[in-house]
């Protein structure tokens, strides 16, 4: 059988995990606790939904093709807000709006790499990044993180070859949850600049970072766009997952390459979704601050309540934004354990085998919990269920 682009990679992990629910029933008094996916399950706030409905009814142009690189007003507003937030200078012409952050990453890789090139990903990695590299004919070079779940720039430097085109980081991290310190991001930026490669920084979860102020100073570098490609998603901030709106920031020259990709794949980003993102940027700062407070409270609940699992031999390796990354104490591989927990505990989560290279031993002993859709009561119930199982 021919090894096609899609056969070069694995099946979507979230879709695979959902199949574990087939044939399993969950009684009303013990409903499923689903902590498998990092996406809001609630609809956008009512005022944003009303704005979107008004657009659909009254603005004919939202049903037509728009500019390949996105609405000029949205690009301008994002550039303005990011310049203020990060203490740098970002021009609207350095911003592209994409159909979700996954497309932003795909566009960046298409613009940076050719067949057989290499991109360094810290492991555990975000599986959709690995899937796209596989389908692009690009070799993924794994960079194992330390016990603190942080990657080492010096170790990354040892992996760079003449075929290396980029290092891709996610902070706050998916799947480990950890927030990369500003000095660590600066070290990776300096490494990429010195080696003549690109640093791709995915900040999908930046709105839920526990730190105040800018999480790094990379945009303050007057030549940031020669090294950095920044990725962002509106999905988590304004609950717009189904409308697929993301963003990419880089050099003006890079925008020409991104435009080719977008024009070929989707022609333009979703028009109503873009207008919703623009409305959110201009009007929902206070609402988003409340969302951040709620996520940080749930993070605190994970830390405070983890003793129920720690007493059973579990370890909390990383926590932040939407995620907790944990080591389990059982003599059973994580992929088998995750499947078994559906029936034994009524909990759906993902094994770390979905986030590491095949054969990586760390994958068998770790699990990812996406806790953002659980309140404190739900988190407590999840811990009770997990603490009660034995294998």
**Two tokens at 198?**
């690109």
Q: What is the pLDDT of residue 388?
A: 93
Would you call 333 exposed, middle or buried from its count of C-beta atoms within 10 A (0-12, 13-18, 19+)? middle
CATH number of 6-43+287-388: 3.90.1150.10, 3.40.50.170, 3.10.20.30, 3.40.50.720?
A: 3.90.1150.10
Tens of pLDDT along the chain (391 residues)? 678 999 999 999 999 999 999 989 999 999 999 999 888 889 999 999 999 999 999 999 999 999 999 999 999 999 999 999 999 999 999 999 999 999 999 999 999 999 999 999 999 999 999 999 999 999 999 999 999 999 999 999 999 999 999 999 999 999 999 999 999 999 999 999 999 999 999 999 999 999 999 999 999 999 999 999 999 999 999 999 999 999 999 999 999 999 999 999 999 999 999 999 999 999 999 999 999 999 999 999 999 999 999 999 999 999 999 999 999 999 999 999 999 999 999 999 999 999 999 999 999 999 999 999 999 999 999 999 999 998 8
Instruction: Give the DSSP per-residue string, 188-247.
Output: HHHHHHHHT-EEEEE-TTGGG-SSSS-S--GGGSTTGGGTEEEEEESHHHHT-GGG--EE
Instruction: Give the DSSP per-residue string, 40-72.
Output: --SPPPHHHHHHHHHHHHH-GGGGS---TT--H
Q: What whole-number distance in Å separates Cα of residue 317 and Cα of residue 214?
A: 24
Q: What whole-number distance in Å separates Cα of residue 8 and Cα of residue 92?
A: 37
Q: Which of 316, 358, 249, 348 is nearest to 19 (CA)?
A: 348
Q: Where are the domains of the chain?
A: 6-43+287-388, 46-284
Please tell me if the domain spanning 6-43+287-388 has the same topology as the one spanning 46-284: no
Characterize the bridge pairing of strands 198-202 and 164-170.
Answer: parallel
What letter would DSSP give residue 233? Answer: E
What letter would DSSP give residue 226? Answer: G
CATH number of 46-284: 2.30.30.280, 3.90.1300.10, 3.40.640.10, 2.40.50.100?
A: 3.40.640.10
- Residue 316 phi, psi dihedral angles, 5° rounding: -95, 105
Distance of alpha carbon 65 from the chain centroid: 27
Count of all residues that appear for the chain in the document = 391
Q: What is the pLDDT of residue 39?
A: 82
CA dist list (Å): 130 to 125, 156, 201, 274: 7, 17, 15, 27
Q: What whole-number distance in Å separates Cα of residue 106 and Cα of residue 274?
A: 19
* Other Cβ atoms within 10 Å of 60 Cβ, number: 8
Q: What is the pLDDT of residue 38?
A: 82
Task: Decide if 360 contacts 130 (C-beta within 8 A).
Answer: no
Q: What whole-number distance in Å separates Cα of residue 3 and Cα of residue 233?
A: 32
The order of strands in the sheet holding 350-351 is 315-320, 323-327, 366-370, 350-351
Q: Which of 30, 73, 11, 108 is nearest to 384 (CA)?
A: 30
- pTM as predicted: 0.96
């Amino acid at each position: 059988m021919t090894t096609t682009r899609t056969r070069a990679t694995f099946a979507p992990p979230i879709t695979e995990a959902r199949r574990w629910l087939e044939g399993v029933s969950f009684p009303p008094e013990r409903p499923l606790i689903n902590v498998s996916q990092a996406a809001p399950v609630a609809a956008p706030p009512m005022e944003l939904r009303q704005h979107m409905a008004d657009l659909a009814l009254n603005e004919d142009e939202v049903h037509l093709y728009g500019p390949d690189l996105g609405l000029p007003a949205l690009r301008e507003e994002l550039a303005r807000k990011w310049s203020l937030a990060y203490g740098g200078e970002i021009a609207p012409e350095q911003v592209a709006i994409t159909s979700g952050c996954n497309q932003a990453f795909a566009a960046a890789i298409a613009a940076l790499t050719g067949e057989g090139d290499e991109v360094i990903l810290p492991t555990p990695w975000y599986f959709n990044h690995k899937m796209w590299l596989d389908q692009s004919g690009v070799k993924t070079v794994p960079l194992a993180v330390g016990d603190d779940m942080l990657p080492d720039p010096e170790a990354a430097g040892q992996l760079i070859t003449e075929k290396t085109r980029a290092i891709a980081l996610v902070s706050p991290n998916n799947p480990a949850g950890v927030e990369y310190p500003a000095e660590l991001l600066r070290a990776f930026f300096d490494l990429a600049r010195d080696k003549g490669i690109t640093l791709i920084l995915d900040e999908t979860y930046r709105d839920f970072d526990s730190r105040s102020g800018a999480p790094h100073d990379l945009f303050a570098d007057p030549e940031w766009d020669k090294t950095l490609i920044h990725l962002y998603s509106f999905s988590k901030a304004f609950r717009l997952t189904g409308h697929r709106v993301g963003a990419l920031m880089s050099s003006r020259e890079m925008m020409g390459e991104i435009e080719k990709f977008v024009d070929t794949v989707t022609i333009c980003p979703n028009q109503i979704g873009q207008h919703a993102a623009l409305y959110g940027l201009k009007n929902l700062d206070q609402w988003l601050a409340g969302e951040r407070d709620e996520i940080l409270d749930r993070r605190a609940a994970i830390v405070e309540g983890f003793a129920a699992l720690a007493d059973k031999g579990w370890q909390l390796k990383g926590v932040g934004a939407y995620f907790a990354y944990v080591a389990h104490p059982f003599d059973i591989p994580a992929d088998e354990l995750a499947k078994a927990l559906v029936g034994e505990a009524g909990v759906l989560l993902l094994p770390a085998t979905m986030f590491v290279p095949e054969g990586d031993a760390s994958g068998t002993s770790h699990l990812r919990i996406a806790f953002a859709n659980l309140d404190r009561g739900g988190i407590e119930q999840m811990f009770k269920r997990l603490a009660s199982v034995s294998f």
